[in-house]
Amino acid sequence: MDAPAELIAILRKVERAAVLTGAGVSQESGLRTFRDSQEGLWAKYEPTDLATPEAFARDPKLVWDWYAWRSEAIKGARPNRGHYALAEMEAAIPNFSLITQNVDGLHRFAGSRNVLELHGNIQRVRCSVCGEFAENWDEEAEVTPACSKCGGLLRPHVVWFGEPLPEAILTAALVAVKECQVFFSIGTSGVVQPAASLARAAQTHGAIVVEINAESTPLTLQADYFFQGKSGEVLPDLVKEVWGKA
Protein backbone atom coordinates (compact mmCIF):
# COMPACT_ATOMS: atom_id res chain seq x y z
CA MET A 1 0.00 0.00 0.00
CA ASP A 2 1.28 3.44 -0.91
CA ALA A 3 -0.21 6.02 1.39
CA PRO A 4 -0.32 9.64 0.17
CA ALA A 5 2.91 11.47 0.97
CA GLU A 6 1.07 14.29 2.72
CA LEU A 7 -0.63 11.83 5.10
CA ILE A 8 2.67 10.13 5.90
CA ALA A 9 4.19 13.53 6.69
CA ILE A 10 1.25 14.41 8.95
CA LEU A 11 1.44 11.12 10.87
CA ARG A 12 5.18 11.39 11.41
CA LYS A 13 4.65 14.67 13.23
CA VAL A 14 1.30 14.03 14.94
CA GLU A 15 1.24 14.30 18.73
CA ARG A 16 -2.46 13.68 19.45
CA ALA A 17 -4.48 10.97 17.74
CA ALA A 18 -7.75 9.19 18.40
CA VAL A 19 -9.00 5.96 16.87
CA LEU A 20 -12.49 4.47 16.74
CA THR A 21 -12.76 0.75 15.98
CA GLY A 22 -15.79 -1.40 15.28
CA ALA A 23 -16.80 -4.97 14.53
CA GLY A 24 -14.83 -5.14 11.29
CA VAL A 25 -11.57 -5.22 13.25
CA SER A 26 -12.71 -8.21 15.33
CA GLN A 27 -14.12 -10.08 12.33
CA GLU A 28 -10.56 -10.57 11.10
CA SER A 29 -9.88 -12.53 14.29
CA GLY A 30 -12.70 -14.90 13.38
CA LEU A 31 -15.37 -13.30 15.54
CA ARG A 32 -18.83 -12.91 14.11
CA THR A 33 -20.64 -9.63 14.33
CA PHE A 34 -23.20 -9.27 17.11
CA ARG A 35 -26.18 -9.87 14.84
CA ASP A 36 -24.57 -12.80 13.03
CA SER A 37 -23.42 -14.63 16.15
CA GLN A 38 -26.32 -17.04 16.58
CA GLU A 39 -25.83 -20.75 16.03
CA GLY A 40 -26.76 -24.10 17.55
CA LEU A 41 -29.18 -23.82 20.46
CA TRP A 42 -29.18 -20.04 20.14
CA ALA A 43 -30.20 -19.88 16.48
CA LYS A 44 -33.87 -19.39 17.37
CA TYR A 45 -33.20 -16.21 19.35
CA GLU A 46 -32.74 -12.71 18.00
CA PRO A 47 -29.69 -11.09 19.67
CA THR A 48 -31.59 -7.83 20.05
CA ASP A 49 -34.25 -9.70 22.05
CA LEU A 50 -31.66 -10.90 24.55
CA ALA A 51 -29.49 -7.81 24.90
CA THR A 52 -31.92 -5.60 26.83
CA PRO A 53 -32.61 -4.81 30.49
CA GLU A 54 -36.17 -6.06 29.91
CA ALA A 55 -34.93 -9.46 28.73
CA PHE A 56 -32.72 -9.78 31.81
CA ALA A 57 -35.59 -8.84 34.13
CA ARG A 58 -37.86 -11.34 32.39
CA ASP A 59 -35.43 -14.28 32.24
CA PRO A 60 -32.03 -13.52 33.79
CA LYS A 61 -30.75 -17.10 33.44
CA LEU A 62 -31.45 -17.15 29.71
CA VAL A 63 -29.56 -13.90 29.18
CA TRP A 64 -26.73 -15.00 31.51
CA ASP A 65 -26.31 -18.31 29.67
CA TRP A 66 -26.28 -16.63 26.27
CA TYR A 67 -23.55 -14.20 27.30
CA ALA A 68 -21.59 -17.01 28.96
CA TRP A 69 -21.71 -18.86 25.62
CA ARG A 70 -20.59 -15.76 23.71
CA SER A 71 -17.82 -15.08 26.22
CA GLU A 72 -16.52 -18.63 25.93
CA ALA A 73 -16.43 -18.33 22.13
CA ILE A 74 -14.46 -15.09 22.36
CA LYS A 75 -11.87 -16.62 24.71
CA GLY A 76 -10.48 -18.64 21.81
CA ALA A 77 -9.95 -15.56 19.62
CA ARG A 78 -6.58 -13.87 19.24
CA PRO A 79 -5.65 -10.36 18.10
CA ASN A 80 -4.91 -9.96 14.41
CA ARG A 81 -2.32 -7.81 12.65
CA GLY A 82 -4.62 -4.80 12.79
CA HIS A 83 -4.81 -4.98 16.59
CA TYR A 84 -1.02 -5.18 16.87
CA ALA A 85 -0.51 -2.33 14.40
CA LEU A 86 -2.69 -0.09 16.57
CA ALA A 87 -0.56 -0.97 19.59
CA GLU A 88 2.52 0.03 17.57
CA MET A 89 0.81 3.27 16.58
CA GLU A 90 0.10 4.05 20.23
CA ALA A 91 3.77 3.53 21.04
CA ALA A 92 4.75 6.01 18.32
CA ILE A 93 2.27 8.81 19.10
CA PRO A 94 2.67 10.72 22.41
CA ASN A 95 -1.06 11.22 23.10
CA PHE A 96 -3.14 8.34 21.76
CA SER A 97 -6.67 7.20 22.60
CA LEU A 98 -8.25 4.02 21.24
CA ILE A 99 -12.04 4.17 21.40
CA THR A 100 -13.74 0.87 20.62
CA GLN A 101 -17.28 -0.38 20.16
CA ASN A 102 -16.02 -3.96 20.56
CA VAL A 103 -16.49 -5.87 23.81
CA ASP A 104 -13.98 -8.68 23.19
CA GLY A 105 -10.93 -7.13 24.89
CA LEU A 106 -8.61 -7.96 21.97
CA HIS A 107 -7.10 -4.47 21.84
CA ARG A 108 -5.74 -4.82 25.37
CA PHE A 109 -4.62 -8.38 24.54
CA ALA A 110 -2.56 -6.93 21.66
CA GLY A 111 -0.85 -4.42 23.95
CA SER A 112 -2.94 -1.26 23.58
CA ARG A 113 -3.04 0.62 26.88
CA ASN A 114 -5.31 3.66 26.60
CA VAL A 115 -8.46 1.81 25.53
CA LEU A 116 -11.91 3.31 26.01
CA GLU A 117 -14.50 0.52 25.76
CA LEU A 118 -17.73 2.32 24.85
CA HIS A 119 -19.87 -0.80 25.07
CA GLY A 120 -18.09 -2.53 27.96
CA ASN A 121 -16.21 -5.82 28.07
CA ILE A 122 -17.92 -9.19 27.81
CA GLN A 123 -15.21 -10.88 29.89
CA ARG A 124 -16.12 -8.79 32.93
CA VAL A 125 -19.12 -9.25 35.23
CA ARG A 126 -20.78 -6.76 37.58
CA CYS A 127 -23.75 -6.60 39.90
CA SER A 128 -27.00 -5.43 38.32
CA VAL A 129 -27.92 -3.63 41.55
CA CYS A 130 -24.84 -2.10 43.21
CA GLY A 131 -22.51 -2.16 40.19
CA GLU A 132 -19.69 -3.94 42.04
CA PHE A 133 -17.43 -5.98 39.75
CA ALA A 134 -17.16 -9.69 40.49
CA GLU A 135 -13.93 -11.65 40.14
CA ASN A 136 -15.34 -15.09 40.89
CA TRP A 137 -18.72 -16.79 40.47
CA ASP A 138 -20.08 -20.29 40.05
CA GLU A 139 -20.08 -20.86 36.29
CA GLU A 140 -21.94 -24.16 36.70
CA ALA A 141 -24.74 -22.75 38.85
CA GLU A 142 -28.32 -23.64 37.91
CA VAL A 143 -29.41 -20.09 38.71
CA THR A 144 -27.98 -16.70 37.82
CA PRO A 145 -25.01 -15.97 40.15
CA ALA A 146 -25.49 -13.35 42.84
CA CYS A 147 -23.29 -10.49 44.04
CA SER A 148 -21.28 -11.33 47.17
CA LYS A 149 -21.68 -7.75 48.39
CA CYS A 150 -25.42 -7.06 48.09
CA GLY A 151 -27.01 -10.24 46.76
CA GLY A 152 -28.14 -8.67 43.48
CA LEU A 153 -27.96 -10.69 40.28
CA LEU A 154 -24.69 -10.58 38.36
CA ARG A 155 -24.78 -9.47 34.72
CA PRO A 156 -22.24 -9.08 31.91
CA HIS A 157 -20.40 -5.76 31.83
CA VAL A 158 -21.80 -4.72 28.46
CA VAL A 159 -24.13 -1.96 27.35
CA TRP A 160 -27.54 -3.30 26.40
CA PHE A 161 -30.02 -1.74 24.00
CA GLY A 162 -31.87 1.01 25.82
CA GLU A 163 -28.99 1.70 28.23
CA PRO A 164 -26.75 4.78 28.18
CA LEU A 165 -23.04 4.46 27.52
CA PRO A 166 -20.85 4.70 30.65
CA GLU A 167 -20.60 8.41 31.31
CA ALA A 168 -16.91 8.54 32.29
CA ILE A 169 -15.85 6.54 29.23
CA LEU A 170 -17.96 8.62 26.85
CA THR A 171 -16.64 11.86 28.36
CA ALA A 172 -13.04 10.70 27.96
CA ALA A 173 -13.76 9.70 24.36
CA LEU A 174 -15.27 13.10 23.55
CA VAL A 175 -12.28 14.89 25.07
CA ALA A 176 -9.87 12.76 23.01
CA VAL A 177 -11.86 13.40 19.84
CA LYS A 178 -12.00 17.16 20.34
CA GLU A 179 -8.26 17.41 21.12
CA CYS A 180 -6.87 15.06 18.47
CA GLN A 181 -5.05 16.18 15.34
CA VAL A 182 -5.83 12.96 13.44
CA PHE A 183 -8.88 10.74 13.85
CA PHE A 184 -9.10 7.19 12.50
CA SER A 185 -12.39 5.38 11.90
CA ILE A 186 -11.63 1.70 11.42
CA GLY A 187 -13.94 -1.23 10.70
CA THR A 188 -17.11 0.51 11.80
CA SER A 189 -20.30 1.08 9.85
CA GLY A 190 -20.62 4.69 10.91
CA VAL A 191 -24.31 4.36 11.71
CA VAL A 192 -24.44 3.40 15.42
CA GLN A 193 -24.78 6.47 17.62
CA PRO A 194 -23.19 8.14 19.45
CA ALA A 195 -19.98 6.56 18.07
CA ALA A 196 -20.98 7.50 14.52
CA SER A 197 -20.84 11.20 15.42
CA LEU A 198 -17.26 11.11 16.70
CA ALA A 199 -15.59 11.49 13.31
CA ARG A 200 -17.67 14.57 12.51
CA ALA A 201 -16.87 16.03 15.94
CA ALA A 202 -13.16 15.50 15.36
CA GLN A 203 -13.35 17.12 11.93
CA THR A 204 -15.28 20.07 13.34
CA HIS A 205 -12.44 20.66 15.79
CA GLY A 206 -9.84 20.64 13.02
CA ALA A 207 -8.71 17.00 12.90
CA ILE A 208 -7.75 15.10 9.76
CA VAL A 209 -10.12 12.13 9.39
CA VAL A 210 -8.85 8.83 8.02
CA GLU A 211 -11.25 5.95 7.34
CA ILE A 212 -10.21 2.31 6.88
CA ASN A 213 -13.01 -0.04 5.97
CA ALA A 214 -13.78 -2.97 3.71
CA GLU A 215 -16.72 -1.02 2.28
CA SER A 216 -17.69 2.61 1.94
CA THR A 217 -19.87 4.06 4.71
CA PRO A 218 -21.79 7.28 5.35
CA LEU A 219 -18.47 8.74 6.54
CA THR A 220 -16.48 7.94 3.39
CA LEU A 221 -17.32 11.05 1.38
CA GLN A 222 -16.54 13.31 4.32
CA ALA A 223 -13.26 11.63 5.31
CA ASP A 224 -10.01 13.30 4.26
CA TYR A 225 -8.51 9.92 3.41
CA PHE A 226 -10.23 6.61 2.71
CA PHE A 227 -8.49 3.24 2.47
CA GLN A 228 -10.71 0.42 1.29
CA GLY A 229 -9.60 -2.92 2.65
CA LYS A 230 -9.18 -5.01 5.76
CA SER A 231 -7.64 -3.24 8.72
CA GLY A 232 -5.36 -6.25 9.29
CA GLU A 233 -3.80 -5.54 5.91
CA VAL A 234 -4.02 -1.74 5.60
CA LEU A 235 -2.87 -0.79 9.12
CA PRO A 236 0.39 -2.80 9.23
CA ASP A 237 1.37 -1.36 5.85
CA LEU A 238 0.55 2.18 6.97
CA VAL A 239 2.46 1.82 10.24
CA LYS A 240 5.46 0.45 8.35
CA GLU A 241 5.39 3.32 5.84
CA VAL A 242 5.16 5.96 8.55
CA TRP A 243 7.28 4.59 11.38
CA GLY A 244 9.20 1.76 9.76
CA LYS A 245 7.67 -1.00 11.86
CA ALA A 246 4.49 -3.09 12.01
Q: Is 119 a catalytic residue?
A: yes
| DSSP alpha helix (H) spans, the chain | 5-13, 23-27, 47-50, 53-58, 60-75, 81-92, 106-109, 167-179, 198-204, 231-243
Q: Quick one: 138 exposed, middle or buried, by C-beta within 10 A (0-12, 13-18, 19+)?
A: exposed
Active-site entry in 83, 107, 119, 157: 119
Give 193's contacts (C-beta < 8 A, 6+ positions apart): none
| Amino acid at site 180 | C
Q: Report the C-alpha gap between 111 and 74 in whole angstroms.
A: 17
Q: Report the C-alpha gap between 66 and 86 in whole angstroms.
A: 30
Q: Quick one: 109 exposed, middle or buried, by C-beta within 10 A (0-12, 13-18, 19+)?
A: middle
**Shortest CA distance to 110 belongs to which of 243, 235, 238?**
235
CB 203 within 8 A of CB 183: yes
Length of the chain (residues)? 246
Which residues are catalytically annotated? Answer: 119
